[in-house]
Amino acid sequence: MRLVHRAEDLEAAMKGAAFEAGSAFADARIFIEKYLDKPHHVEFQVMGDMTGRVVHLGERECSVQRRHQKVVEESGSPFLTDDLRARMGETAVRAAKSCGYSNAGTVEFLVDGQRNFYFLEMNTRLQVEHPITEMRTGLDLVSLQLHVAAGQALPFRQEDVHWNGHALECRICAEDVENNYMPSTGTISLLRPAEGVGIREDRGVNEGGAVPVHYDPMISKLVAWAPTRTDAIQRMRRALMEYQILGVKTNIPLLLFVIEHPVFKDGDYTTHFLEEYFKLEHLSPGSAHARQASAILAALLRDRELSRLDGAAINEKQNRGWRQQRMDLMRGS
């Protein structure tokens, strides 16, 4: 992507973008679109079946991004009005119907500061952030995909879809935030995920597993649901504070910065949020070391507990042996 502020810079930007696209994708074609100064990235989950029925399952605000990659998502969007939400949902459904779409998909929009919205793209798949939609609607999107693929009609209509509460998702990645977000690889020696009411985690690795260099650094999707946005933010903060991992560095300190920031809490943040507000010095002094020390302490306590249990098991085994010997003696007498 190239941002062009002046007409005289257009030619060089087009050449640079075409060269990169040709090298990376073997396709040097480019397109030009309007630049929005204070954009919100808002997407709508749609689901269509082979009978032509298409419904939307609500929106997700995905404006907390780094290098155009989503970091934190939430549903519903704190920026949309009810009227705008309805119009965007209707537009998303019309877009999917216009091409006879069936399956799960996401229609993505940009919304400017005056709440004008613009079509961005459609992702014809299930996306990383779909759990927050599931948490609010109570629907299993993967199950719906299978039913639709089998030729079955969607078991509900648009008026049957209801949204409950608020949900957030934080993408926990194996990254070294303090070292320009370099991927952090290695073996996960300890993993203690957060738990509790309203907390969900979709994770691709486990304790003892390796984080290699060949794949995306995301290792977990941490989701928090609550009846209100304020409560959901509080639950997410607690979950991030409790999440313990050793062996690789993660972006948890960055995620805590985001959800604790007053602009994020206010709800009127844009895709420039991290660029405008985040600096390394904003991380709590020694926060990474404190989290690591806490994780190490948890590991030591776990090992001590395992040792205690092992000792109890040995004692129980010895006691069972002694009891058996006594019974044998009694039978002999």
**Distance (Å, rounded) from C-alpha 245 to C-alpha 102?**
40
The first and second tokens of residue 60, run together, are 């997700």
Count of C-beta atoms within a 10 Å radius of residue 134:
21
Of 132, 113, 117, 110, the C-alpha closest to 84 is 117
Query: What number of H helices and E strands is found in the chain?
Result: 9, 14
Q: Is 125 a catalytic residue?
A: yes
**Distance (Å, rounded) from C-alpha 127 to C-alpha 68?**
15
Peptide bond into 76 cis (omega under 30): yes
Count of C-beta atoms within a 10 Å radius of residue 218:
17
Of 66, 67, 125, 229, the active-site residue reads 125
Do the beta carbons of residue 102 and residue 148 sit within 8 Å? yes
48: three-class secondary structure by DSSP: strand
**Distance (Å, rounded) from C-alpha 166 to C-alpha 99?**
31
**Distance (Å, rounded) from C-alpha 203 to C-alpha 226?**
21
Positions marked catalytic: 125
